[in-house]
Structure 1
């Protein structure tokens, strides 16, 4: 009898709705000034016309005074308009200055991010290629985690979290203690077995996977600063109270991230270490992991990213979205 594997039917991909940003038009930017002028003109005219009439008849004296007043009145009106438009000019200059200051700081943060990536070293290697090794090591750790916790009914998110925390903190004189504390909500016996397995298998994994470094010893010294700066850079733009298209700016940061960087960011966001990303909803809002290729992780044997981020529209799905619109 043949074993039939149940396959998931792919649902139609819904169009991604990016953050709703529309630049303000001229009327939206200047409505306060326009309303002020209109109300001022109406009030002045009502007052003056009322003074020029007695009941239903024209008061010639008041009308004469009204006529002579027109000259001074028009001068005052033009002065009012001039003051309001001066205010508008100064306001626009201030906004332009705020955007210039923001962009100066923003592009400096991007430059610092590039520097941070280049400064990540692992033996003789550095830069973006290090993240390829990080993902490779994470995969080996997840195999061990699944084996240790195979009899436990853990959710997929929990498997990822345990694996990522083991990858991030590693094992060592201090690292093992930190790792155990970070996994305090899991079975202590299993956590102890996990650290023992990581210790006993690291040399074998190094040889099999041809690592030029000893794996499972943690990367918090390499990645801690990297993620703090990346989060602060994106949050700096996200929290800015100025009229800009934040998605377009943060897209520039996303463009700096390699596929493996985005994959590791995804793993970070699933763990408790990535709580700030979830709290601010940054991953979803700015599609920070959209460039992870289809089946980068084996959805059956490793991780189904779409199951964990069902509303995320990935780059490989964009043609499908366009066809469905």
Structure 2
């Protein structure tokens, strides 16, 4: 529940609390009225029906001194024994009033307690919402702290790339461009060997178009090429020593965002993926794309597709644009793909 919803709920409850308080006041007034009536009713009845026999200097008088007919007319009850029925009637008339007053007081007390409980519950709800928001904020701060440390490490890894064997020393993202070109050369060489197994020949653009139409064949050539490129052989060092930790670090950043409990929606996660995506050069995107087609990078591919990591990649700039057909149909080309990425779905 957001702040606006809490305010709307509170505004709806205020009139209900106001009417409850007014009703409680009415009940209390009714209870006071019944109590007062119950207390004065015996005196009113006595004044109207019972002779007040008081022995003092002013009112002392014997009943025998009054004419019997006159006494019977003015004071119909002259003996204490005559008061029995009147006492019963007084009890019957006052007791209901006191009982009704008690009922009003009881209902008022219950309503007051309900209002108090409702206010306490609302206050607790507000405190709980505040506590949840504070916990969410702390959780996001922890996530961001780790996230930006990982991105800082990611850029540090790139800064360590260097090649001092060439005439002009290259480093950083330029080194990734050289690695990408190295893979393209190996892929072209393997395609040439397939098309021209008994002689050397140039691979034409039409050759690349033709082989791109044979998705399964292209996939086999690509996998063999990437294995040699990444792992190396007895005579050369593979690219794993150069870009292996770079790719693993990038994958773990994507995975950290994907499983972040503090980010509840896909849009929230996309905000952080965009930060990573904005730092990727064209050569990086191509290397990552190639890695995702290989089983080594299936898990990264799953996350990259979910968060549109390749939105800024011009597929026509790939050596073989039809590699996108492998990327799109990887589940059909490799039956192990679904099993390998099932926990990332």
Instruction: Indicate the TM-score class for this superposition, using the shorter chain for normalisation.
Output: 0.5 to 0.7
CA distance in structure 1 between the aligned counterparts of 2:145 and 2:170, rounded to whole angstroms: 31
Partner secondary structure for residue 172 of structure 1: coil
Within 5 A, what are the aligned runs for 1:191-206?
Answer: none
1:268 equivalent in structure 2: 291
CA distance in structure 2 between the aligned counterparts of 1:134 and 1:172, rounded to whole angstroms: 19
| Pairing 1:147–2:187 present | no
Aligned match for 1:217, one of 223, 237, 244 = 237
Partner secondary structure for residue 155 of structure 1: helix
CA distance in structure 2 between the aligned counterparts of 1:132 and 1:88, rounded to whole angstroms: 51
2:258 equivalent in structure 1: 238
Change (3 A) 1:88 1:234: same
1:9 equivalent in structure 2: none
Q: State which structure, 1 or 2, has the greater radius of gyration over its C-alpha atoms.
A: 2
Q: Is the contact made by 1:168 and 1:219 (CA closer than 8 Å) also made in structure 2?
A: yes
Q: Specify every segment of 5 or more residues in structure 2 that has no aligned partner in the other structure, as ranges.
A: 21-26, 28-98, 198-210, 330-345
Aligned match for 2:108, one of 67, 70, 75 = 67
| Pairing 1:257–2:275 present | no
Change (3 A) 1:73 1:291: closer
| Pairing 1:159–2:204 present | no
CA distance in structure 2 between the aligned counterparts of 1:155 and 1:265, rounded to whole angstroms: 21
Q: Is the contact made by 1:237 and 1:250 (CA closer than 8 Å) also made in structure 2?
A: yes
Aligned match for 1:111, one of 152, 157, 161 = 152
TM-score (norm 2): 0.57
1:304 equivalent in structure 2: 322
Change (3 A) 1:98 1:133: same
What does the per-residue CA deviation read over 1:198-220, in whole Å, with 9 as the maximum and x for residues that have no partner? xxxxxxxxxxxxxxxxxx53221
Q: CA deviation at 1:308?
A: 3.3
CA distance in structure 2 between the aligned counterparts of 1:97 and 1:159, rounded to whole angstroms: 49
Partner secondary structure for residue 115 of structure 2: helix
| Pairing 1:289–2:334 present | no
4+ residue stretches of structure 1 with deviation over 6 A? none
Q: Specify every segment of 5 or more residues in structure 1 that has no aligned partner in the other structure, as ranges.
A: 1-23, 46-51, 53-58, 174-215, 312-325
1:132 equivalent in structure 2: 177
Count of residue correspondences: 223
| Pairing 1:226–2:246 present | yes
Compare the two structures and name the one with the higher helix fraction: 2
What does the per-residue CA deviation read over 1:40-76, in whole Å, with 9 as the maximum and x for residues that have no partner? x9xxx9xxxxxx9xxxxxx944333111333343233
* Range that drifts further, 99-108 or 158-167: 158-167
2:35 equivalent in structure 1: none
CA distance in structure 1 between the aligned counterparts of 2:321 and 2:239, rounded to whole angstroms: 21
What does the per-residue CA deviation read over 1:165-209, in whole Å, with 9 as the maximum and x for residues that have no partner? 211112235xxxxxxxxxxxxxxxxxxxxxxxxxxxxxxxxxxxx
Change (3 A) 1:62 1:309: farther
Q: Is the contact made by 1:260 and 1:292 (CA closer than 8 Å) also made in structure 2?
A: no
Q: Is the contact made by 1:116 and 1:226 (CA closer than 8 Å) also made in structure 2?
A: yes
Q: CA deviation at 1:250?
A: 0.8
CA distance in structure 2 between the aligned counterparts of 1:158 and 1:287, rounded to whole angstroms: 26
Q: CA deviation at 1:294?
A: 4.8
Q: CA deviation at 1:26?
A: 5.2
Within 5 A, what are the aligned runs for 1:30-109?
Answer: 60=100, 61-109=102-150
- Bigger relative CO (Cα 8 Å, ≥ 6 apart): 1
Change (3 A) 1:292 1:80: closer
